[in-house]
Structure 1
């Protein structure tokens, strides 16, 4: 597989602003461990190999346990995630694949029982961001692992 277009080279100002947006998310109310899980789950759902590869490596570098990384795809059955993480993953799934009838009340109530309104808002922006990155990288066939050295992801030691 080869990359179709380097959107970042073609639209550098938009790329810069989107990166800045992502950096703001890092200083929000949602802990980085949950942001990593959200990025991984949305990327799995969207079939974005580039983002999945990148976010698994980032999570590993930041101390995430490998077994939990393997369990993100089966988070409902896994005993490795807290109620707060489960709520964030449920919210990620429903905002990534919006149901025709909208977000069910039970999903909202689940996330509302674990996160404040500000946290839900910050989490929703994080989900919006990763879904945007996924669409760029899937559409332009960004090659998984191709930016490892540039982003320092080779430190994950997940060859």
Structure 2
């Protein structure tokens, strides 16, 4: 078993930093986007970014929402499976695109499919959710919080 030591502990983080990020999480929870869809994109992005702490967290959150093992185990290969709806596929593709930015603007081919399912405000929420989990992933990769200990809030 690999022992991972935290570089920066929760107590070392500047006061207010996580609280501000949690304010954004609360803002997103109040959005019209479904919790399960948000958790799905958070897990997918965390997989892409290799963030073990966030993969553990969002896997457990999705299990709590009733997500199936088949879909959870197939999320890393979602494009090759029939288990995700067209709407979910559009969101996952957009999440992949925004997560792996290049120097070019987001193309119409990546943006326009969203318009079939979402209005512009919803797309703004989706974009914020994607950038937010990317922020969390990067923080956890630097801080090296130990995965496996996340508990669902009751």
TM-score, scaled to structure 2: 0.91
Kept after mapping to 2: 8 A contact 1:53/1:144: yes
Question: Residues 59-100 of structure 1, C-alpha deviation per residue, up to 9 Å, x if partnerless?
Answer: 101111111111111111111111111111011001111123
Equivalent residue, structure 1, for 2:152: 152
Kept after mapping to 2: 8 A contact 1:43/1:52: yes
| 1:42-61 mapped onto 2 (5 Å cutoff) | 42-61=45-64
Please state whether the residue corresponding to 1:28 is helix, strand or coil.
Answer: coil
Equivalent residue, structure 1, for 2:130: 127
Q: Over aligned residue pairs, what C-alpha RMSD do you find?
A: 1.6
Bigger shift: 127-136 or 7-16?
Answer: 7-16
- Among 116, 133, 142, the residue aligned to 2:145: 142
TM-score, scaled to structure 1: 0.88
Residues of 2 paired with 1:152 and 1:41: CA distance? Answer: 19
- Among 105, 109, 114, the residue aligned to 1:111: 114
**Structure 1 gap ranges (5+):** none
Distance 1:8 1:34, change over 3 A: farther
Q: Which has the higher contact order (CA 8 A, sep 6+)?
A: 2
Alignment length, in residue pairs? 151
Kept after mapping to 2: 8 A contact 1:50/1:142: yes
